[in-house]
Structure 1
Amino acid sequence: MRALALNTGMDIHLLDHIAPLAALLDIPLWTTEEPNYLLARQFYPQVKVEYMPDLEYRLGEIAHSYDTLFECKYWQAHLKQLFKDFYQKEMTLVFCPHGQSDKGFQFPLLAPYSIQDAVLVYGPLMLEMLNELQIPLKQSIMVGNYRLKFYRTHQSFYDNLLKKRLPLDPKKRTILYAPTWKDADDTVSFFQFGKKVLAELPQDWNLILKVHPLLKERTPVEYYRTLLYAESKHNVFVLEDYPPVYPVLAASDIYLGDFSSVGYDFLTFEKPLFFLPTDRPTRLYSCGQILNSNENFYTQMENPKKLVNEQRKLRKWAYSEGVDTFSMGGKIKTVCKSFK
C-alpha cells in the first residue's frame, strides 16, 4: 500500500512524532508551513520532506497516489467523505498520538480517538486510559516506542547537533525543565512556578528550559514575563524551535516537569524525576518526587530517591517493548494491512 505522512499547521512539536514515523516506514512527509519544512530538513534529513502550502488543492493528487494518510492531528470525519464523494477513494486516515501523558481526565481531550479510522497506540497504558474514559476505537495497532528506536539508530547525529546548540558545562549537573502548555486540562506549571525554578537555580547546575511551543504561541505575555528571570542566569539554556526530544533527555541528569508527555519519555533513562506541586498527582508521579513549594526546589533535588523499579514498571506499561512493527527496513504494507 502507498502511504503519506502529513504535518499541517504550525505545530512544530509534532515533527518529532511524525518525522521519525515517516523515516521508519520509509514514506514521504508533506508540510504546509515553511518554518516546519525548514526544521524538518534540518533535524530529520532521513526523511523525504516536501513543502506543500497548497495542500487543500492537492486532494486529487493525494487520492491518486496514496491509500493511507498518517498525521498527529485528529482527522475530521468530513475529509474521509470528501475523498469518497469527489474522488471515489476509500482513504484510510491514521491518527498518530504525540506522546504518552496522563492528560484527558479533566476535559474530553481524547474523545476524537473514537472517530479515527485507526489509531497508533504505544502500549497497554493508552488502551487502559481510553477504556477508563469509555472511548472506543475502530481499529488500533500497538507500535511501542518507535521514537526511541529512531533516536538510537541515529544517536550520534542527534547528540552532536545538541552539543553544537547547547554549550553545557560538563562539570555541572544538568536539569531539564519541560513544562507543558495551558490546555483545556489546565495542567501548566510554568506561570505558577517558573519564576521560582529560574530564580533559585544554583550556579553549579545547568538548566535546560524546553517549553511546549504552544506555551509561547498562545500565552506570549505570561511566557516572556516569566522568562525575564532567566536573563541574568548564564547557566540557563532556553531551547526553542528544537523538535528532537530524546537527545535533550540523554544530556540531562534530572527531569523536572508537570503533566508533559516528556516525563514518560524520560523513563527510558532511569534517572531521577521531580514534579512541581499539584493537587492532581497522576500515574507518572509515582516514578518521582513532588517538590514542596515552601522549600528551595534545588535543595530538595540534592538527594533523589531511587525509584528505578517504579520507572521500569510504568515504562513497560506505557510502551510495548519488543514491538518490531516499525523496525528499520520494515514494510509499510505490513502496517497498513493491519487496519483493514
Structure 2
Amino acid sequence: MKKVGLLLSEDAHHLDHLAPLCCLLNIALATNCPIIFKQGKTFYPKLHIFIKEKIELASFLVENFDTLISSIAKPLINLFLFPHVDLTGKTLTTLWTPHGHSDKGQSAPFFQALKDEDGLLYYGPNMLNVLKSKLDSLEEKKLFSLGNYRKDYFEKHAPFYKRLLTKTFSLQKTPKHTLLYAPTWKDSENSSSLENVLTQLVHSLPKTLHLIIKLHPHSLKKTSPKVALAIAHARALKNITLIENIPTILPILSHVDGLIGDMSSIGYDFLSFKKPMFFLPNASSNSPLFKCGYSIFPENYSSIFSIIERNMQPNPDMEKEKQILYKQVFASKPSINTLNWDTLPC
C-alpha cells in the first residue's frame, strides 16, 4: 500500500505536525504550496517533500498512491481529488491526523467532518475520549495513537535545531530569563489573548528579560491596527525577538525558560520541559493546562512581568499536575509504531 502525507495550504502550523509524522512513517509529504515546500526543506531534516501544481498534484496522487494522511477532513480531500477519482474509479484510503491537542472547538461541528475517515490518529487518552464523545461511528474506525512523536523527532535532531536557531535567529542563552509568548489566533470562541495583552507586554518588558514572540500564522495574515503598532514597536527593541517564518516550535520551547500562553495547544507541547507556565485566560476560557501554571487576568496585566519574575522557580504542585496531564494527553506506547497498513479499509 503506497502512502503519502498531504498538505494543501500555507498553514505552517500543520507542517510542524505532518513533517515529523511523515519522517516517522518513512513516507513523502506532498504539497502544492511553494512556501510549505521551502519550509519543509529548511526546517525538517530527513523529510522527503515534493511539490506539484494543484491540478497536476491531484492526478499524480490518484495514479501513484493508495493512502493519504492529512490534517484536513476527507470531504475536503475528495473535493480536491475530484474529478480524477471519478475518472479512474479508484478509491483512496484517508487517515486524519491532528495538528495540536486543542481545548478549542469543542462546541464546533468540526468533528462531524471526520465521520467518513478510514482511520483517525490521536495523541493519547484525552483526545480519544473527545473523539468518542463526538463521533457515533467511532467503533468502526481504525484508531492509532501517536504519543509525543514530535518531541521524539526534535530530540533526534537536537544538534541540527540548535545550529539553526543560533544561525537564523541569533537565539543564544543569556544571563537573563528568556520567555516565549505564543498566543493562539482570534477564533469564534475568542480564545486569543493577543489583542488584549501584546501592547502591555511590549511596553512593560524589563531590560532584564528577553521575550520571544511567536504569533499564530492566522494572526499574521490579519492584524488589527493596535496589534500592528505593538509589533512595529517590538521590532525596535533589542530584547524582543519576533519569529514569523519558522514553523517548528519544539526547538524554541527547549530554548526558553518559561511560556506565556492562552488556549494555544503549544501549552501541551511545553508540558514535558518542566519549566514555568503562565496563562492569560479570558472570562470564558477553561483548560486543564491552567492547573499547571499561573493564571494572570487582565486586571493584573500592568504587573505581569513582576508576577512572572516572582514565580520562575519550580512549583512542586504544578510539576505533579504536569506529569498527570502529560500522561493523559500523550500515549506512552503509541500504536502508530505497530500500524499494519494492510488492515486499513479501502
Pair in the same fold by TM > 0.5:
yes
The letter for the 2-side match of 1:40 is: G
* 1:38 partner SS: helix
Q: Distance in 2 between matches of 1:236 and 1:117?
A: 45
User: Counterparts in 2 of 1:323-338, with a 5 A limit?
Assistant: 323=334, 325-326=336-337, 334-338=339-343
Higher helix share: 2
Q: Distance in 1 between matches of 2:113 and 2:67?
A: 19
The letter for the 2-side match of 1:252 is: V
Q: Distance in 2 between matches of 1:251 and 1:62?
A: 38
Shift of 1:86: 2.1
User: Counterparts in 2 of 1:204-243, with a 5 A limit?
Assistant: 204-219=208-223, 221-243=225-247
Shift of 1:147: 0.8
Shift of 1:167: 3.3
Q: Indicate conservation of the 8 Å contact 1:176/1:252, yes or no.
A: yes
Cα-Cα RMSD: 2.1
Q: Indicate conservation of the 8 Å contact 1:67/1:92, yes or no.
A: yes
Q: Indicate conservation of the 8 Å contact 2:144/2:335, yes or no.
A: no
| TM-score (norm. length: structure 1) | 0.91
Q: Deviations over 1:238-267 (max 9, x none)?
A: 011101111000001111101111000000
Q: Distance in 1 between matches of 2:191 and 2:137?
A: 25
User: Counterparts in 2 of 1:72-151, with a 5 A limit?
Assistant: 72-76=71-75, 78-79=78-79, 84-133=85-134, 136-137=137-138, 138-151=141-154
Q: Distance in 1 between matches of 2:116 and 2:189?
A: 21
Q: Deviations over 1:117-145 (max 9, x none)?
A: 22110001011223344565333211111
Q: Indicate conservation of the 8 Å contact 1:68/1:336, yes or no.
A: no
Q: Indicate conservation of the 8 Å contact 2:32/2:57, yes or no.
A: no
Q: Distance in 2 between matches of 1:335 and 1:213?
A: 35
Q: Indicate conservation of the 8 Å contact 2:4/2:28, yes or no.
A: yes
Number of aligned residue pairs? 333
Q: Indicate conservation of the 8 Å contact 1:169/1:206, yes or no.
A: no
Shift of 1:30: 1.4
Name the CA shift for 1:70/1:242 in 2 (closer, same or farther; >3 Å).
Answer: same
Q: Deviations over 1:41-87 (max 9, x none)?
A: 111231111121x2333434322321100112222164488565322
Q: Indicate conservation of the 8 Å contact 1:94/1:119, yes or no.
A: yes
Q: Distance in 2 between matches of 1:338 and 1:218?
A: 44
Match of 1:266 in 2: 270
User: Counterparts in 2 of 1:1-340, with a 5 A limit?
Assistant: 1-52=1-52, 54-76=53-75, 78-79=78-79, 84-133=85-134, 136-137=137-138, 138-164=141-167, 165-219=169-223, 221-279=225-283, 280-295=285-300, 296-304=303-311, 305-306=315-316, 307-323=318-334, 325-326=336-337, 334-340=339-345
Q: Distance in 2 between matches of 1:193 and 1:135?
A: 40
Identity of aligned residues (%): 31
Q: Distance in 1 between matches of 2:23 and 2:121?
A: 16
Q: Deviations over 1:4-49 (max 9, x none)?
A: 1111121122111111111111111112111111111111231111
Q: Indicate conservation of the 8 Å contact 2:145/2:335, yes or no.
A: no
Q: Deviations over 1:207-226 (max 9, x none)?
A: 11011111011336454233
Q: Distance in 1 between matches of 2:319 and 2:213?
A: 24
